[in-house]
C-alpha cells in the first residue's frame, strides 16, 4: 500500500514519520527530494537562478534557502514561479524512488508529502494519513520552534491549506495534541486497520 503522509507546518508530521521509520517502513521524503533536485549542477537549480538571479546562491554555488524563502513568503507570484520550476522535478524523483522500491519488493511505502493537497498529489497514493493539531497548538509550536513573531508564524501557516480542510480529504487522522504515546497509539491502530501492521 502506498500511504501519503501529510500535515501542516508544526503539526508534528515529522514526529510521525520518525515513528514510521522505527517500524521499518520505507519513506520517500518530499523535503529530502526537494534538496536533491536543487543540488549544484542540476537543471532545476539553473532554472531557479534564471528566475530569481544570482543572489539566491551562496558563495559555493548552493541554494541560499533563507534568501529564497524571504522572496517567496511575501510574494505569491514569486512563490508560483518557484513552484512551477521545482514541483515537476520533485514529482518525477519521488515517482522514480517509489517505482524502485516497488521493483525491489516493498509492500508498503510511505510518501511523506507536506503539500500533498496543495500540490494535488492525492493520485500518487492509495491512503492519506493527516497529522493534525489545534490552531492554538500549531501557532504556539511554530513560534517556539522557529523563533517567529506571531505575525510571521501566522503568515507561514496561512500559506498552506488549513488543517481542517486536509482532515476532510484524509483516510485517517492522527491528532497530535497530547503525548507522543497517544500519537504512537493512534498510528498503530490505523496501520493495523490498514493491514500494514499485524
**195 to 1, 18, 70: CA distances (angstroms):** 9, 20, 43
Give the three-state DSSP class for 46.
helix
Binding site annotation covers 164? no
d(CA 145, CA 150): 12
Q: What burial class does residue 69 get, using C-beta atoms within 10 Å of its C-beta: 0-12 exposed, 13-18 middle, 19+ buried?
A: middle
- Please answer whether residues 105 and 138 qualify as being in contact, where contact means their C-beta atoms are separated by less than 8 angstroms: no
Binding site annotation covers 159? no
Binding site annotation covers 10? yes
Q: Cα angle at 8 between 136 and 89, to 5 degrees?
A: 160
- Please answer whether residues 14 and 96 qualify as being in contact, where contact means their C-beta atoms are separated by less than 8 angstroms: no
d(CA 92, CA 88): 6
Binding site annotation covers 14? yes
Annotated binding site for ATP: 10-15
Annotated binding site: 10-15
Amino acid at each position: 500500500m502506498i500511504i501519503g503522509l501529510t500535515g501542516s507546518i508544526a503539526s508534528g508530521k515529522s514526529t510521525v514519520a520518525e515513528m514510521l521509520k522505527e517500524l521499518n517502513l520505507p519513506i520517500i521524503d518530499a523535503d529530502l527530494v526537494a534538496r536533491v533536485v536543487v543540488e549544484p549542477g542540476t537543471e532545476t537549480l539553473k532554472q531557479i537562478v534564471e528566475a530569481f538571479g544570482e543572489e539566491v546562491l551562496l558563495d559555493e554555488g548552493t541554494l541560499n534557502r533563507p534568501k529564497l524563502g524571504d522572496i517567496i513568503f511575501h510574494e505569491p507570484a514569486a512563490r508560483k514561479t518557484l513552484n512551477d520550476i521545482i514541483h515537476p522535478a520533485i514529482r518525477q524523483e519521488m515517482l522514480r524512488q517509489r517505482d524502485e522500491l516497488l521493483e525491489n519488493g516493498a509492500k508498503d511505502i510511505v510518501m511523506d508529502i507536506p503539500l500533498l493537497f496543495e500540490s494535488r498529489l492525492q493520485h500518487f497514493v492509495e491512503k492519506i494519513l493527516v497529522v493534525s493539531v489545534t490552531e492554538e497548538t500549531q501557532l504556539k509550536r511554530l513560534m517556539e520552534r522557529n523563533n517567529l513573531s506571531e505575525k510571521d508564524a501566522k503568515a507561514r501557516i496561512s500559506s498552506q491549506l488549513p488543517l481542517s480542510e486536509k482532515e476532510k480529504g484524509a483516510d485517517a487522522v492522527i491528532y497530535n495534541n497530547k503525548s507522543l504515546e497517544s500519537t504512537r497509539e493512534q498510528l498503530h491502530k490505523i496501520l493495523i486497520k490498514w493491514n500494514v501492521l499485524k
